[in-house]
Amino acid sequence: MLRKLCLFSLQVSLVGCVYTGILPMRAPQTAMAELVNGGPWIFSGERVRLKCSVPGNVSAEWRYQWFRGGEQLQESEYFDLWKARPQQSGKYYCQGLRTTWISTQRTLHSLPIEIEVDGGWAILQAPPLPMLVGETMTLMCRVRGNPRLTEVILYKDGVELQRQPGPELHVTNLTLQHHGSYRCRASWDGRKQTNSVISVAASVSIIEPMLEIVPNDPLIHKDRMLLVCHVQLNAREPVSHIHYYFYQDGLSLGPASSQDRIAVLRDSGRYWCKASIPTLGLKRLSEPVPYGRVTVLKPANQHAKQLL
């Protein structure tokens, strides 16, 4: 309930009115930082450009403040590293600011973008965020100066994995065994000799969902059971915004949720869960888990194709 309070001068003339009371609070918005030019791992002397925005507020007059670690940088929509130096490596993030007649509004900080500036001769560019089991991973072995490569060797945890004549390498049908430390060795013909360099290690992370059925959870009603979607994750940084879906016999049990569990009526059938990372455009189903007396109406892989 709002109450109108008016202020008067000594001559009893109306000066102004204000409203007091409890106004509904809106959850703070979150800024978004994105890489618009360059890559997260670059050679010294190269350029990177980052952009900050506030999703859903195209017409709003936002200003943008940039940070690296705990250091406050410039205020601008775009942030550029020109002729980057190794000491400029770090995690960059931004915040939106908007001044109103009441106060200055500030968004939550964006998720960080980690920039690595390498002073060496070779870089293995790997996916910066975890990938899903079953996806194809593309790796790029870059050499300073971009010479014409004659051979590229990919290593995983010190063991040779494959050889290619060019810089682009593909690892198909990923499994949990593919996460680990990768390097590349690149060779090219120079003047009267063959040159060869090896990159520093790059980490690769894999994500795979696994469904667990808990039929007797003491915290839920006895006619229900708990479905839990476990995501096996080996990541350098926490991954936010994983969406979970649950299915019974190919039918959805509800909309996407940020919760990894759901209570459902105890019923026979085959159950799946799906994990999705919208920011990466990746999604993957778990293996089906039967419960009770299951009538086989359709092969499990046909259900899986429909759910994806």
143-200 pLDDT per residue, tens: 998 899 999 999 998 899 899 898 999 988 887 788 788 989 999 988 777 887 787 7
99 and 167 both lie in a single domain: no
Residue 97 lies in domain: 32-117
Is the residue at 253 inside a domain?
Answer: yes
Report residue 284's pLDDT band, with 50, 70 and 90 as the boundaries.
Answer: confident
Contacts of 151 (CB under 8 A, 6+ apart): 163, 164, 165, 186, 187
Q: Which of the listed residues 144, 172, 204 is the one where a domain comes to its end?
A: 204
Q: Which of the listed residues 86, 117, 148 is the one where a domain comes to its end?
A: 117
Q: Among the listed ranges 53-62, 139-148, 253-262, 282-291, which one has the minimum average pLDDT value?
A: 53-62
Other C-beta atoms closer than 10 Å to the C-beta of 243 total 15
Q: What is the mean pLDDT of the chain?
A: 80
Is the residue at 87 inside a domain?
Answer: yes
42 and 55 both lie in a single domain: yes
Q: Is residue 280 scored above 90 in pLDDT? A: no
Is the residue at 17 inside a domain?
Answer: no
- pLDDT for residue 308: 58
Q: Among the listed ranges 49-58, 188-197, 247-256, 286-295, which one has the minimum average pLDDT value?
A: 188-197
87 and 177 both lie in a single domain: no
Mean pLDDT of 279-302: 72
101 and 141 both lie in a single domain: no
Is the residue at 69 inside a domain?
Answer: yes
Of 262, 257, 251, 270, give the one whose Cα is nearest residue 225: 262
Q: Is residue 52 scored above 50 in pLDDT? A: yes
Report residue 227's pLDDT band, with 50, 70 and 90 as the boundaries.
Answer: very high
What CATH number corresponds to the domain at position 85?
2.60.40.10
Provide the CB-side half-sphere exposure for 307 (13 A, CA).
30
Q: Is residue 217 scored above 90 in pLDDT? A: no
- pLDDT for residue 4: 40
Select the more confidently predicted residue: 304 or 165: 165
139 and 101 both lie in a single domain: no
Chain segment 69-109, per-residue pLDDT in tens: 889 999 999 999 999 999 999 999 999 998 888 888 888 88
Supply 259's token pair: 């919760």
Is the residue at 71 inside a domain?
Answer: yes
pTM: 0.57
Is the residue at 61 inside a domain?
Answer: yes
198 and 229 both lie in a single domain: no
Q: Is residue 249 scored above 50 in pLDDT? A: yes
223 and 300 both lie in a single domain: yes
- Whether the Cβ atoms of residue 167 and residue 141 lie closer than 8 Å to each other: yes
Q: Which of the listed residues 171, 204, 237 is the one where a domain comes to its end?
A: 204
Is the residue at 163 inside a domain?
Answer: yes
Select the more confidently predicted residue: 141 or 202: 141
Is the residue at 303 inside a domain?
Answer: yes
- pLDDT for residue 23: 40
- Whether the Cβ atoms of residue 133 and residue 170 lie closer than 8 Å to each other: no
Distance CA 308, CA 303 (A): 9
Q: How many domains does the chain have?
A: 3
Report residue 21's pLDDT band, with 50, 70 and 90 as the boundaries.
Answer: very low
169 and 234 both lie in a single domain: no
Contacts of 73 (CB under 8 A, 6+ apart): 65, 66, 67, 79, 92
238 and 290 both lie in a single domain: yes
86: phi then psi, degrees, rounded to nearest 5: -55, -35
Select the more confidently predicted residue: 129 or 22: 129
- pLDDT for residue 38: 85
41 and 107 both lie in a single domain: yes
